[in-house]
Amino acid sequence: MSKKELLLEYINNHNGLITHRDCKKLGIPTIYLTRLEDEGVMFRVEKGIYLSSSGDYDEYYFFQYRYPRTVFSYISSLYLQGLTDEIPQYFEVTVPKDYRFRNRPLNLNSYTVSKDIINMGVTSVKTPMGNTVNIYNFERVLCDFILNRSNIDNELFVKTVQTYSNFPEKNLAKLYDYAQKLNILDDVKRTLEVLLWIKQN
């Protein structure tokens, strides 16, 4: 199989998307991407990212490719997990305290945390377009909501806690472990107790 055929096969199997990093893993010089672009087979979305004419524009994947140290959190994470009916108006991400965005996007809400907890609760999911991105799991999102309660819309907060209480894959041991590390264990327990009381009355 020629390098061009290998590239086309990869693109076909990856939602019409390929990046410079993918080429490096495949051992194919990036000049082949330029040639495919010249042939009209694909176009450059931005530096290092190419999309075929039949591919889907995946803003979440493109964002994290551009800013690989970010983790989708809060509403962005809930949306990507299918846990909210809210349509995010902007990206919500968490980054280490020393992180600085180059050419910071306008449609961005970012939160900073210390390096020792940045990876706590990180998992990966497929975007609606089928590409993999890093997000915080539901337990971490719930902890972040409780930790920043004053900045969260009240209706969204209540809905999120209720959704978690009915979440078939909820892991209370994990939730309490995260809460302990974030020094909000009492707040988390109190929030769940209030919800239980409401459900019983």
Q: Which domains does the chain have, with CATH numbers?
A: 3-57 (1.10.10), 60-200 (no CATH)
At 193 the pLDDT is: 87
Distances in whole angstroms, Cα of residue 170 to Cα of each of 108, 123, 165, 186: 28, 14, 8, 18
End-to-end CA distance of the chain: 67
Q: What is the pLDDT of residue 195?
A: 75
pLDDT at position 3 is 86
Task: Give the pLDDT of residue 12.
Answer: 87
What pairs with residue 92 in β-bridges?
A: 109
Q: What pLDDT shows up at residue 105? A: 85
- The pTM is what? 0.86
What are the φ and ψ backbone dihedral angles of 155, each rounded to 5 degrees? -65, -40
Q: How far apart are CA 169 and CA 165, in angstroms?
A: 10
Residue 2 pLDDT: 87
Q: Which two tokens stand for residue 103?
A: 């050419």
pLDDT in tens, the chain (201 residues): 788 888 889 988 888 889 999 999 999 999 989 899 999 989 998 888 999 988 888 999 999 999 999 999 999 999 999 999 888 999 999 999 999 998 888 899 999 999 999 999 999 999 998 899 999 999 999 999 999 999 999 999 999 999 998 899 999 999 999 999 999 999 999 998 877 665 654
Q: How far apart are CA 42 and CA 26, in angstroms?
A: 18
